Amino acid sequence: MMTALATVLEIQDDIVVVGCQQKSSCNHCSSKDSCGTGIVSKVLPGKVHHWAFHTDKKLTVGQMVEIGLPEKNLLQSAAIVYLVPLFFLLFGALFSEWLISPLIGIGEITTITISALSAWGGYFIAKRLSHRIEQNTEQQVSLVRILGEPISDTISVNAAG
């Protein structure tokens, strides 16, 4: 089980909605100052994920909690997001190189175009598949422990990131 820090955003009966900021590994890399991704991650805030779950514990809005997320679903989602577009790109390149280009006779531009379109299609398929896994993960989120009240709004946002 993977854990994440989250802030309680809303409470409705026994359903608690928490938000946690998406983490970036750029803060730990030695070349973060010279890398384009590291510079962009400093400027743009991470995406905030919202999770809802049932609990019998008394919580208040603004409290910091630690939630548990199933590793299997997160790893499946990551594999789908990275591998499906890559496989579609490779399949599109091979399909174009072996079948389409010899028929049309144009050459590399056909292969590049069909590869890019295949990867784009793979991206949308991966997005749809990962959304299904994310919905299954929402049902399996659990409260690990209650950490307490945040000192200020800025600290609660940064602690989740």
| Per-residue confidence (pLDDT) for residue 125, from 0 to 100 | 94
| Per-residue confidence (pLDDT) for residue 150, from 0 to 100 | 57
Q: What is the pLDDT of residues 61-116, one digit of tens each?
A: 888 888 887 788 778 888 898 999 999 999 999 998 888 877 777 778 888 899 99
Q: What is the pLDDT of residues 14-70, one digit of tens each?
A: 788 888 776 655 556 666 666 666 665 565 556 677 778 888 888 888 888 888 877
Helix residue ranges per DSSP H, 26-107: 36-43, 71-95, 101-104
* Residue whose tokens read 């805030």: 45
* pTM, full prediction: 0.58
